[in-house]
Structure 1
């Protein structure tokens, strides 16, 4: 039996597992079966398309319940990022609107668990969405109302482990060569060479660059921690040329009207340039961060240094790159090749 893996769109080669993943369309699958039927009478198709959560059930306007102001204030007092504030308040508002007939103080632990089951069984949300919802609910009841810590756990099917999308060094080179805009090219270069999160890039200020010690200070990065990242020689030359041309006032990369550069703008032009140079993968700013880590590993850099560079607390998070790198896989000698046959 032959197994064919099918995804949403844009066929791609899986270098780790050494096989192709084809677009999931009737035309493609029919052609595959037509060509391979003489050699493989039985062909099994594995649907690898991303499953999206079902939309929320529309509710009456009078059932809408906004997030309490006390929760917003508490989040800001505890210095949560604005992104987290927006996420938690939006999710808690959704939760309250579901239990519109009850005040927050009246909602029981059983009702919270029932809502979690609704998200998993009926809306089929992702694990990350479910976890964020739990965190938002726990924050209100524990931090705002001062309740005891509780665990709201709903068992769900074990999901597969998805490896992050990574560009090869050849693809990364092609991408950088294909960006004519100086500002855009500098942004992509800084993200890739420093292994940054998009939030770290847009928060970076001109004054954070230390040319003497060839490093950049990332202030209050994820987890509210400061850390340094190295400033590569090529990156420094590009940044200097960019600064001379654009002369930003405060942030290293600023929007047309000043202030922080828009993360959505970075995502948009990155997709546009990737498509223009023929990269079929779904490229986003985090892809550049994953690519940086993978290429460092392929160049022999120790995992502990990569973990520090990326600002990751858990070493297991960094170890995922050992599953992606092609260098190690290609150097493994198959035991069959060692036999005297």
Structure 2
């Protein structure tokens, strides 16, 4: 009996299995199942298990799995063993570009593909040849100190005000403020300890006298037990959607129409530090940036030097 191309014996299933290809579907009159990834579920589950064993965050795992599923769904008529580097280019051109998806999303897919195919064996794709999109040069969004003051003065709820003020005063990411515990506030040394932030790194950032006082007043009123900011139930972490809603309400009260996000407060903090004369190396440490190049982008949005430049237009006698 002639052996079918690509057939393999499975010790766990005690059966032969074939690649999920268009050729074999037509040969054996197999209809597409409702789930286009049904025949790839074992590999996806294995990849998920590998990511967890490497201690990737749950958010990163979800991002990578969604990106990978998008790629594999596009090639639903091909088995994983049939996919090669040309299929990545087809996906980029006929799905990502065609649907106007961003370069940052494409980069997520690249990360997922590279990691996934590195964990698989006997495949035709070469992860090292999967190219990344040319990165766009995008400046961070920065608010003026006056706008920041309007936003932070808007909340009447002391917890809401304390959360927004702490994000700005320490340049925190959304996940960082939600993961803060009471024990992470060292008021005597005027430090905030941030545990296992992006890149699994710990760091400390300075606390101002004013924010320490504000946190003390908040604590007296709310008495959180574990998390610095807890939800409606005791010992429950504050919800990220609720935090976004807090900012949205503050923007409405302040009558600021810009599409401000919580990350804008972090960008603004870094830029204002730079404009106050803080050395870039310290800003890099405070923000938890791995590379100094990431921090240097704030030099492009700082207005301190730009305001000292005199335009030649001012020397013209234009009526």
Alignment TM class, shorter chain as reference:
0.7 to 0.9
Instruction: State how far apart, in whole Å, the 2-side matches of 1:269 and 1:145 are.
Output: 48
Which stretch shows the higher mean deviation, 322-331 or 63-72?
A: 63-72
- The structural deviation recorded for 1:335 is 5.8
- The structural deviation recorded for 1:331 is 1.4
Structure 1 SS opposite 2:228: coil
**Unmatched 5+ stretches in structure 2:** 1-31
1:70-108: per-residue Cα shift (whole Å, max 9, x none)?
Answer: 111111111111111111111212222211122323322
Q: State which of 298, 301, 319 in structure 2 corresponds to 1:324.
A: 301
Matched, 1:276 2:253: yes
Which stretch shows the higher mean deviation, 141-150 or 293-302?
A: 141-150
Structure (1 or 2) with the greater strand fraction:
1
Which stretch shows the higher mean deviation, 207-216 or 320-329?
A: 320-329
Instruction: State how far apart, in whole Å, the 1-side matches of 2:182 and 2:120 are.
Output: 37
Instruction: State how far apart, in whole Å, the 1-side matches of 2:186 and 2:87 are.
Output: 53
Which residue does the alignment assign to 1:85?
Answer: 61
Which residue does the alignment assign to 2:310?
Answer: 333
Q: Is the 8 A contact 2:81 2:122 kept in 1?
A: no
Which stretch shows the higher mean deviation, 97-106 or 229-238?
A: 97-106
Which residue does the alignment assign to 1:56?
Answer: none
Give the TM-score normalised by structure 1.
0.76
Which residue does the alignment assign to 2:76?
Answer: 100
Instruction: State how far apart, in whole Å, the 2-side matches of 1:199 and 1:146 are.
Output: 38
> Closer, same or farther in 2 for the Cα pair 1:232/1:108, shift >3 Å?
same
1:11-48: per-residue Cα shift (whole Å, max 9, x none)?
Answer: xxxxxxxxxxxxxxxxxxxxxxxxxxxxxxxxxxxxxx
- The structural deviation recorded for 1:62 is 3.7
Q: Is the 8 A contact 2:229 2:238 kept in 1?
A: yes
Which residue does the alignment assign to 1:61?
Answer: 34
Q: Is the 8 A contact 1:74 1:144 kept in 2?
A: no
Instruction: State how far apart, in whole Å, the 1-side matches of 2:51 and 2:210 are.
Output: 40
Q: Is the 8 A contact 2:103 2:133 kept in 1?
A: no
Which of the two has higher C-alpha Rg?
Answer: 2
Q: Is the 8 A contact 1:76 1:85 kept in 2?
A: yes
Instruction: State how far apart, in whole Å, the 2-side matches of 1:336 and 1:97 are.
Output: 57
For the aligned residue pairs, the C-alpha RMSD in angstroms reads 2.5
Instruction: State how far apart, in whole Å, the 1-side matches of 2:163 and 2:56 are.
Output: 26
Which residue does the alignment assign to 2:4?
Answer: none
Instruction: State how far apart, in whole Å, the 1-side matches of 2:122 and 2:155 are.
Output: 52
Q: Is the 8 A contact 1:113 1:154 kept in 2?
A: no
Which residue does the alignment assign to 1:165?
Answer: 141
| 4+ long deviations beyond 3 Å | 59-62, 64-67, 143-149, 333-339
Which residue does the alignment assign to 1:38?
Answer: none
Instruction: State how far apart, in whole Å, the 2-side matches of 1:87 and 1:155 are.
Output: 18
Instruction: State how far apart, in whole Å, the 2-side matches of 1:144 and 1:245 are.
Output: 54
Q: How does 1:79-158 map to 2 (within 5 A)?
A: 79-145=55-121, 149-153=127-131
- The structural deviation recorded for 1:120 is 3.6
Q: Is the 8 A contact 2:178 2:237 kept in 1?
A: yes
Instruction: State how far apart, in whole Å, the 2-side matches of 1:254 and 1:144 are.
Output: 42
Q: How does 1:160-239 map to 2 (within 5 A)?
A: 161-239=137-215
Q: Is the 8 A contact 1:293 1:306 kept in 2?
A: yes
- The structural deviation recorded for 1:143 is 3.2
Instruction: State how far apart, in whole Å, the 1-side matches of 2:33 and 2:148 are.
Output: 49
Which residue does the alignment assign to 1:246?
Answer: 222
